Structure 1
């Protein structure tokens, strides 16, 4: 059995702290959801932790906030964003974090709104209904983009700074 490192605990604490920001009043879609998933995908060395820790944090806060009928689509999108973090953030730098964050925002928008159309009752099940669904969601994408960029910047920035002050955090095993 592998030893759990201080790095693992710091990463886990950061993910849960960011998740609990969801409980503080905030503008619609200005939340750390994508940042948590990207961060987990980028920093947890074990793939199981990369998915499990962010998903557990999200599930815990959703248990407090409340679940809705389409949550499985949100969780599917969230898992895809973990994969985006794994693939796009093998090298952590500002450009890669910005590109991964934008990719996360766009994929979340596409997947969750497709789910609203496909599994909901608000829109007709035809191309016009799908277009209507996406158009109705456009006002929310701005907060998603800004929130994802902000929270990704905060999370990645804090951890990269912490690594310069605490060498144990720079070790890759987590």
Structure 2
């Protein structure tokens, strides 16, 4: 069996710790969901882990919180955020992380609310029903984008600090 590197263990620990936020009381729609996927796509060397770790963390939280009919749309949007993270991998900068986070938030909004329109029965299955669904969801977009930006900041800055700390330790011990 292949040994897991300290970097991979650190990434997993950060993602699991932040994903636990979902099971505690928090402001509605301010969650780390898309930030976790973006972060994982950016830093995991093994692409399968970039998908598996945030999706499994999300699924475990969903088992506790309750599964829902739009889960496939939510997880699909997360998978796209992982892909955006792959693009970000060698391009990490503050502005690019902010741009990737906003893009991920908008993708999540479009896909998850399409799922609500498609499976919920709340809206007519027409162009007008889809527009109504997106319009009704606009107030949630601001809060979820705030959460994504907040948690992307926490994840990326935490990881940067951890790397800086460990690189300093290695330089001292060499």
State whether TM-score is above 0.5. Answer: yes
Paired residues in the alignment total: 170
Which whole-Å CA distance do the structure 1 matches of 2:122 and 2:162 have between them? Answer: 46
Which whole-Å CA distance do the structure 2 matches of 1:27 and 1:87 have between them? Answer: 30
Which whole-Å CA distance do the structure 2 matches of 1:89 and 1:46 have between them? Answer: 12
Over 2 Å off, 4+ runs: 167-170
Which whole-Å CA distance do the structure 2 matches of 1:56 and 1:79 have between them? Answer: 12
Which whole-Å CA distance do the structure 1 matches of 2:7 and 2:125 have between them? Answer: 48
Corresponding residue of 2:58: 58
Corresponding residue of 1:36: 36
The answer (yes or no) to whether the contact 1:163–1:169 under 8 Å persists in 2 is no
Corresponding residue of 1:85: 85
The answer (yes or no) to whether the contact 1:15–1:36 under 8 Å persists in 2 is yes
TM-score, normalised to structure 1, is 0.93
Q: Cα distance, 1:122 vs. partner?
A: 0.6
Corresponding residue of 1:15: 15
Q: Deviations over 1:133-171 (max 9, x none)?
A: 00000010011111000000010001001111102999x
Q: Cα distance, 1:27 vs. partner?
A: 1.4
Q: Cα distance, 1:88 vs. partner?
A: 3.0
3-state DSSP of counterpart to 1:28? coil
Which whole-Å CA distance do the structure 2 matches of 1:68 and 1:114 have between them? Answer: 14
Which whole-Å CA distance do the structure 2 matches of 1:133 and 1:40 have between them? Answer: 30
Corresponding residue of 1:47: 47
The answer (yes or no) to whether the contact 1:38–1:81 under 8 Å persists in 2 is yes
3-state DSSP of counterpart to 1:153? helix
| Gap regions ≥5 residues in structure 2 | none
Q: What are the equivalent positions in structure 2 for 1:81-160 lying under 5 Å apart? A: 81-160=81-160
